[in-house]
Structure 1
Amino acid sequence: MRLIFVIIGLLACATTALADTRYIVDQATLPMRSGQSTSFKIIGMLPSGMAVDVLEQAESGYSRIRTPTGKEGWILSRYLMSTPAARDRLAAAELKLTKLNELIQQKKQVEAERDQLKDVKAKLEDELSRIRKTAANAVQIAEENKALKASTATAQTELESLRQQTRDIRSGAQQRWFMLGGGAILLGILLGLILPRLKVRRKSQWGGY
């Protein structure tokens, strides 16, 4: 008994290994029977375009198949095709075409975004160039202001020195005028004292002759 089960298992594995994928012809539905003739009962109705695994092909013109759900039965071999049904191929082609159109639209959108990014990049580069020029001018202006402040400080120092010299000159002139005025007063006093005496002496000398 065990040997029989082993042989049956090996045959089942061999049958599965030889399975070939076929497609139900492009018709509404086709019957799948429990045997290799119309006398066997229908165990399922297969829609057109369904992919099934062909497990065995008999000389009777029937093929034993297995559906995607795992159900097995017999169907006329002429109802099996090597390629999917025309409507399925058409649907697949339409789906591919739709995806292709979507990819084309995405490509156009990406190209438009790329062009926008190029414009933004160009504007940013121009702005950066202006900022650099402005920064360079600011540095130059700051240096010029620094030099101007230094020149102003030097000029203020020189001006203060000139003002001090002017004050010194004025102070010296006032002192000299004061001294000259005092000397003139003293000279006047001395002359006022000396001249009368000289006159008296002259008179005395003249009176003696």
Structure 2
Amino acid sequence: MLNPLVFKGLFVKNLLLICSLLVSSIALAETAYVSDELEIMVRSGKSPGHRIIATLKSGKKVNIVERDQAAGYSKIKLSENREGWVLSRLLLKTPSAKSRLSKSEAELASLKENFKATSEQLTQISEEKGSLDTETSTLKEQNTALSRELAQLKETSKNAVQILQERNQLQQRVVTIERELESLKRENDMLMNSEALDWFLIGSGVLFLGIILGFILPKISWRKKSSWQSSF
């Protein structure tokens, strides 16, 4: 059976050890991310012992010309006349996360630019719409004013037509009156001529009668005188 003092000492030591381990664990528990920066070695052969002829950064696009499943290596084409071997497990069928992130960031930047341009266009369109609304309002007011003027012109035209008709009627009456006056003038002239002719005839008759009387009366007086002389 363990001595209580020894047991107590062991318990304290274990407790201190556990506390120290917890403190160490807490001190080391920091957030971290695995770096996507990776360079793979391109070798002259399909084993770690072969010479390194190039290095490729993560995300680099390569063309595979041969695969060796047993060795776990793939042959890639570096240039027109250069080829090398890399570990097949380091090659992915899709771009790396960093490449996709870079592409996404580029797309996001492009979207932001497009959004900015679209926002500017929207602002410009809004301003143009405001200007068009103002012009539309002005045109509506002008249209209303022109409609009123047209109504007034139509009313004036009706009056003008009526006035023209009345003027034509008056002109026709004037022509009729002038014709009547001309007719009356002709009749008056005819009457005047007829009266002058009557007076002429009357004057001629009186003159003729005077001549006759002047011719007859002396003879009658002579006959009476002769008869008176013969009676004495």
TM category (shorter chain) comes to: 0.5 to 0.7
Q: By percentage of residues, which structure has more strand?
A: 1
* 1:42-76 deviation digits (Å, cap 9, x = unpaired): 459xxxxxxxxxxxxxxxxxxx5xxxxxxxx3335
Give unpaired runs (5+ residues) of structure 2: 1-34, 39-56, 62-93
For the aligned residues, what is the CA RMSD? 3.3
Q: Equivalent residue for 2:142?
A: 116
Alignment of 1:35-74 (within 5 A): 37-39=36-38, 40-43=57-60, 64=94, 73-74=95-96
| Partner residue of 2:228 out of 186, 202, 205 | 202
Distance 2:101 2:183 in 1: 118
The percentage of counterpart residues that share the same residue type is 10
Deviation at 1:175, TM superposition (A): 0.8
Q: Which has the larger radius of gyration?
A: 2
1:105 correspondence with 2:140: no
Give every structure 1 segment of 4 or more consecutive aligned residues whose post-TM-superposition deviation is greater than 6 Å.
Answer: none
Alignment of 1:160-199 (within 5 A): 160-199=186-225
Larger RCO (CA under 8 A, 6+ residues apart)? 1
Q: Equivalent residue for 1:149?
A: 175
Distance 1:136 1:198 in 2: 90
Deviation at 1:84, TM superposition (A): 5.5
* 1:135-188 deviation digits (Å, cap 9, x = unpaired): 321221012101220122022112211221221121022112211211122112
Name the SS for the 2:96 alignment partner: strand
Distance 2:155 2:221 in 1: 96
Q: Equivalent residue for 1:134?
A: 160
Shift of the 193–160 alpha-carbon distance from structure 1 to 2, 3 Å rule, reads same
Amino acid corresponding to residue 41 of structure 1 in structure 2: S
How many equivalent pairs are there? 145
Q: Is the 8 A contact 2:58 2:96 kept in 1?
A: no
Q: Equivalent residue for 2:97?
A: 75
Q: Is the 8 A contact 2:37 2:58 kept in 1?
A: yes
Q: Equivalent residue for 2:22?
A: none
Question: Which stretch of the first structure deviates more once superposed, 115-124 or 174-183?
Answer: 115-124
Distance 1:163 1:148 in 2: 22
Distance 1:43 1:100 in 2: 46
Shift of the 106–197 alpha-carbon distance from structure 1 to 2, 3 Å rule, reads same
